[in-house]
Amino acid sequence: MTDSSVDDVEALVRDEPAGSKMELRLWLRLLSCSNLISAEIRRRLRVDFDVTLPRFDVMAQLHREPDGLRLGDLSRRMMVTNGNITGLIDRLAEEGLVVREADPDDRRAITVRLTRAGSKMFRMMAAAHETWIHEMFGRLTPKTLDRLLDDLQALKVSAAGGLRGADPE
C-alpha cells in the first residue's frame, strides 16, 4: 500500500465546488471543439472524396508504413478494437485501396498495406486535409498554438494519471 490511499481520502474529503465546475466547463468546451472540428472533417471527406474518417485514419497509418502493418499493430495505433479493424479493412479491401497479405512466418498474422490506388488516393486526401486544418486553426496566433500544444500535453498527462487502475507511480 502506497501514499496513494492517503491521497484518495484527501480527494474524497476535500470539497471544492468552484474548481470542479471549472473542470467540468473545460471538459465540455474541449469536447465541443473536438466535435465541431471532426464533424466538419467528416463532412468534407464524405462530400469531396466519398470516404469516412475512420477509413482516412487507417490509410494515414498505412501510408507511413510502406511495408504494411499487422492488424494488431493497426488497432493499437488507432486505439480501437480488433473487431473494428477487421471490418474497416474488409471495406477498404473491397474498394481496392488496401490488400491483406499472409505472413509466411506466422499463420495467425495478417499484414495490410496500401495498394497503388490507395496510396494515390491518400495523397490527394492528405493535401486537402491539411488545408482544411489550416482553414480552421489558422486564426490562432503562433503563441496560442504553442500554448495549447503544451497545455493539452499537460492535460493528457493529468488525465492518464487519473485513469482507473492507473499505476500511481
Place of cell 492518464: 160
The three cell numbers locating residue 110 = 495478417
First-to-last C-alpha distance (Å) of the chain? 12
- Toward DNA, which CB reaches closer, 102 or 152? 102
The alpha-carbon radius of gyration of the chain (Å, integer) is 21
Give residues in contact with a second copy (CB under 8 A): 11, 19-20, 22-27, 29-40, 43-44, 79, 130-140, 142, 144-149, 151-164
- Toward a second copy, which CB reaches closer, 101 or 151? 151
110 binds DNA (CB under 7 A): yes
128 binds, among DNA, a second copy, none (CB under 5 to 8 A by kind): none
Paired with 100 in beta bridges are 112
59 vs 1: CA distance, rounded Å: 45
43 binds DNA (CB under 7 A): yes
CB of 131 to DNA, least distance (A): 20
